[in-house]
């Protein structure tokens, strides 16, 4: 397995993968940038393009490790369009079991491919930001970055 680290506006993105696909992406507060191995060049380019605003979807071979249920939830997350959000309740309904809301939320929290599998696009039913493994400030940044309406600062 190969590992690479690049600097992003929300911290250092550490990603791991091999010929079978991208296994994990997470954002760290501190790290050292590394040379990008050949197996991760495309992932690095697409992640950088996402952060500079020139990409809103990813076209990468993914190989996240998890249970069958987690993978089902992660597949549903991939269908949430850029610039939109959904709630845990709506995601549970999409998956066919409204009573599975806690299990869906838990699977969302175990997503190993932050940003690429857009778990940050899931919010509370009341529209509030709820848990994000990378912290709510990063979740807010990502949602603002993806928002079709850019609000300038007044002062």
Residues 118-136: pLDDT tens digits? 999 999 888 888 878 788 9
User: What pLDDT score was predicted for residue 151?
Assistant: 59
Contacts of 1 (CB under 8 A, 6+ apart): 16, 17, 18, 23
Among candidate residues 10, 77, 119, 142, the one labeled active-site is: 119
User: What pLDDT score was predicted for residue 8?
Assistant: 96
User: What pLDDT score was predicted for residue 134?
Assistant: 82
Per-residue DSSP letters for 57-96?
A: S----B-----HHHHHHHHHHTTSPTT--EEHHHHHHHTT
| Residues of the chain predicted below pLDDT 50 | none
User: What pLDDT score was predicted for residue 52?
Assistant: 95
Number of separate helices (H) and strands (E) present in the chain? 5, 5
Q: Is 76 a catalytic residue?
A: no
**Span 134-150, pLDDT tens digits:** 889 999 999 999 997 76
User: What pLDDT score was predicted for residue 127?
Assistant: 86
User: What pLDDT score was predicted for residue 155?
Assistant: 54
User: What pLDDT score was predicted for residue 135?
Assistant: 85
Give CATH for domain 68-146: 1.10.10.10
User: What pLDDT score was predicted for residue 9?
Assistant: 96
User: What pLDDT score was predicted for residue 150?
Assistant: 60
CA 35 centroid distance within chain:
23
User: What pLDDT score was predicted for residue 126?
Assistant: 87
């Amino acid at each position: 397995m190969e590992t690479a680290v690049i600097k992003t506006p929300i911290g250092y993105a550490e990603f791991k993968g091999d010929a079978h696909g991208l296994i994990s992406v997470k954002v760290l507060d501190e790290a050292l940038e590394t040379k990008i191995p050949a197996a991760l060049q495309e992932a690095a380019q697409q992640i950088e393009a996402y952060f500079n605003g020139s990409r809103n979807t990813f076209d990468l071979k993914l190989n996240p490790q998890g249970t069958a249920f987690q993978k089902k939830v992660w597949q549903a997350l991939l269908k949430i369009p850029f610039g939109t959000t959904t709630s845990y309740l709506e995601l549970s309904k999409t998956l066919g079991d409204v009573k599975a809301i806690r299990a869906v939320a838990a699977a969302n929290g175990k997503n190993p491919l932050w940003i690429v599998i857009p778990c940050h696009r899931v919010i509370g039913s009341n529209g509030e930001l709820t848990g994000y493994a990378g912290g709510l400030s990063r979740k807010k940044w990502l949602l603002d970055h993806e928002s079709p309406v850019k609000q300038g600062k007044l002062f």
